[in-house]
Amino acid sequence: MKLGKLLDTDRILLDMKATEHLPAIIELVDLLTERGDIPKSSYDETLKALEEREALISTGIGSGVAIPHTFSDAIDKVVAIFGRSKEGINFQALDDAPVHLIILFIVPSKDYQLHLRTLAAIAKMLTNCEVRRRLAAAATRDEILEILDPKPVRTGADKEPC
């Protein structure tokens, strides 16, 4: 699963407005609905599913990253959106740190294996300190897409540790 292929510049928010967990999810789902990626008729159902998932345990995985996700019968392909908050969002993350990078995705209900592969690909990419640093510093949506396109990430002794 190539994360960069799930997104385009219209599915990237460089500066999220929300400062709390559920409002952040609503902000991202609103944009997906406005774009037509999620049918308006399934908006409430999608939000409810995401909220129920978050009630189990926060998808704030630590290191400033959250990966909210759910299933939907209303779509036939994976839908994803990237959001960044410079101030940080209280996402009730596992490490209690503010979240700065969010990738929310929704998978067709019939594709459980695709859900697991997508989640694994996103988590693998965003556990890389250099990737997170570059995403935080990116000035444009195009830069974000370039970073999320799976290419070798340069690391070196001149970089600060995470």
Instruction: Please give the positions annotated as active site.
Output: 69
Backbone angles phi, psi at 31, to 5 degrees: -65, -40
Choose among 6, 1, 26, 20: nearest CA to 105: 6
CA 111 to chain centre: 19
> How far is the C-alpha of 19 from the C-alpha of 66, rounded, in Å?
13
**DSSP 3-state of 137:** helix
Per the CB < 8 A criterion, the answer to whether 58 and 93 are in contact is yes
Cβ atoms 7, 152 nearer than 8 A = no
Calpha distance 21→13 (Å, rounded):
16
Q: Is 56 helix (H, G, I), strand (E, B) or coil?
A: helix
